[in-house]
C-alpha cells in the first residue's frame, strides 16, 4: 500500500496525484459534457433549418409573432449573468471570497429575471393559441391586432420548434439556477479559495454555454 499523499490539500481525492491533475480532469470532463449539450441542441437546430428552408414564408410571417423587445431584454440579461460569472471567477482566483459570493447571487437573480420574462412571453402565446402542433389555434384580438392572421400553413411546426427550443433552453436555465444556489451556499460556507474553485469554474462553463445557445436562438427565432 502506497502511503497516502499527506502533503496534498484536503480537496484532492486520493486517486489523483495532484490538485492540478484533479482540476484539469474536472474541466476536461465539463468540456466534454458541454459538447454533448451542443449536440443535443443541434437536433433542434437541424429541425429549424430544414423546416425554415422548406417553408420560408411561414417563418417570415410568424417570426413577427415573437416580441423582439422581450427577447432582446432577455439577451442582455443573460449576457449580464455571464459577465457576473466571469467576474466571480476572477475574484476567487484572487482570493476575494466576498466578490465571488456577490457575483454568484447576481447571476442567480439574472437567471430568475430571464425566466420571469419568459413566463410572460409564454402566457401571451398560450392565451392566443400560438401553440405547438395540434394545439395551434391563433385567435383573439390584442391592441387592435387580430391573431387569426397568424393562422398560416406550417404555423404549428414553427411554434413546435419555438417551444421545444426555448423550453429545453429554459429547462437548462432552471438547472443553472439550482447549480448557482448550490455553489453560493458552498461559497458562503467558505469552501472555495484561490487554490480550489473547481465547481465554480465548471458551473460557470455550463452557464456560458446556456448563454451561447440563447445568443443563437434570439436572432434565429425573433429577428429573421
Partner 1 sequence: MSHSANGMVNYLNHDKGIKSWLFTLDHKRIGIMYLVAVSLAFLAGGILALLVRIELLAPGETIMSADAYNQSFTLHAVLMIFAFIIPAIPAVMGNFALPIQLGAKDVAFPRLNLASFYIYLIGAAIAMSALIVGRIDGGWTFYTPYSTSIGDGILFVTAGVFVMGFSSILTGLNFIVTVHKMRAPGLTWNRLPLFIWSIYATSIVQVLATPVIGITVLLLFLEKAFQIGIFDPALGGDPVLFQHFFWFYSHPAVYIMILPAFGVVSDLMGTFSRHQVSGYKFVALSSVAIAFLGFLVWGHHMFVSGQSAVSSVVFSLITYLIGIPTGVKVINWVQTMYKGSVQFKSPMLYAIMFLFTFSIGGFTGIMLGVLAIDIHLHDTYFVVAHFHYVMMGGNVIAALGGLHYWWPKMTGKLYNETQAKIAAFLVFFGFNLTFFPQFIMGAQGMPRRYYDYLPQYEGYHQLSTYGSWVLGVGLFLIAYYLLVSVFKGKKAGLNPWGALTLEWTHTTTPPDHHNFLETPVVTRGAYDFHLARHLFEHGGEVTELEGMGDGASTLPETPATEDATV
Partner 2 sequence: MSHTEHHITSLKTLSIVFGALVFLTVFTVFTAQFDLGAFNVPLALAIALTKASLVVLIFMALIWDNKVNAVILAVGCLFVVVFISFILLDTEYRGDLSNTFEQTLMDERLEAERAAMGDTEAAESQAADH
Convert residues 95-114 into a mask of x (bound to partner 2 by CB under 8 A) and - (unbound): --------------------
**Binding partner 1 by CB under 8 A: which of 9, 56, 133, 219?**
133
- Supply the minimum distance, in Å, between the C-beta of residue 26 and partner 1: 8
**Distance (Å, whole) CA 210 – CA 5:** 38
DSSP state of 222: I
Return the one option of partner 2, partner 1, none that residue 175 interacts with (CB less than 5 to 8 A, by type).
none
Return the one option of partner 2, partner 1, none that residue 101 interacts with (CB less than 5 to 8 A, by type).
none
**Distance (Å, whole) CA 113 – CA 77:** 7
**Distance (Å, whole) CA 70 – CA 67:** 6
If binding is defined by CB under 8 A, does position 126 make contact with partner 2? no
If binding is defined by CB under 8 A, does position 53 make contact with partner 1? no
Q: Is 6 exposed, middle or buried (0-12, 13-18, 19+ CB in 10 A)?
A: exposed
If binding is defined by CB under 8 A, does position 212 make contact with partner 1? no
If binding is defined by CB under 8 A, does position 46 make contact with partner 1? yes
Amino acid at each position: 500500500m502506497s502511503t497516502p499523499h499527506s502533503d496534498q490539500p484536503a480537496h484532492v481525492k486520493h486517486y489523483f496525484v495532484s490538485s492540478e491533475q484533479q482540476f484539469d480532469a474536472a474541466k476536461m470532463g465539463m468540456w466534454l459534457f458541454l459538447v454533448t449539450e451542443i449536440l443535443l441542441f443541434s437536433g433542434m437546430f437541424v429541425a429549424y433549418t430544414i423546416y425554415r428552408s422548406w417553408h420560408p414564408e411561414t417563418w417570415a410571417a410568424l417570426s413577427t409573432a415573437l416580441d423582439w423587445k422581450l427577447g432582446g431584454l432577455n439577451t442582455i440579461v443573460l449576457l449580464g449573468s455571464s459577465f457576473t460569472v466571469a467576474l466571480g471567477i476572477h475574484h476567487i482566483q484572487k482570493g476575494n471570497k466576498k466578490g465571488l459570493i456577490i457575483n454568484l447571487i447576481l447571476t442567480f437573480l439574472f437567471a430568475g429575471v430571464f425566466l420571469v420574462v419568459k413566463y410572460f412571453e409564454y402566457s401571451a402565446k398560450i392565451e392566443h393559441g400560438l401553440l405547438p402542433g395540434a394545439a395551434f389555434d391563433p385567435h383573439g384580438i390584442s391592441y387592435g391586432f387580430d391573431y387569426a392572421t397568424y393562422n398560416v400553413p406550417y404555423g404549428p411546426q414553427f411554434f413546435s420548434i419555438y417551444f421545444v427550443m426555448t423550453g429545453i433552453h429554459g429547462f437548462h436555465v432552471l438547472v443553472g439556477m439550482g447549480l448557482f444556489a448550490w455553489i453560493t451556499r458552498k461559497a458562503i460556507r467558505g469552501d472555495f479559495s484561490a487554490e480550489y474553485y473547481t465547481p465554480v469554474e465548471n458551473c460557470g462553463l455550463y452557464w456560458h454555454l446556456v448563454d451561447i445557445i440563447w445568443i443563437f436562438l434570439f436572432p434565429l427565432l425573433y429577428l429573421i
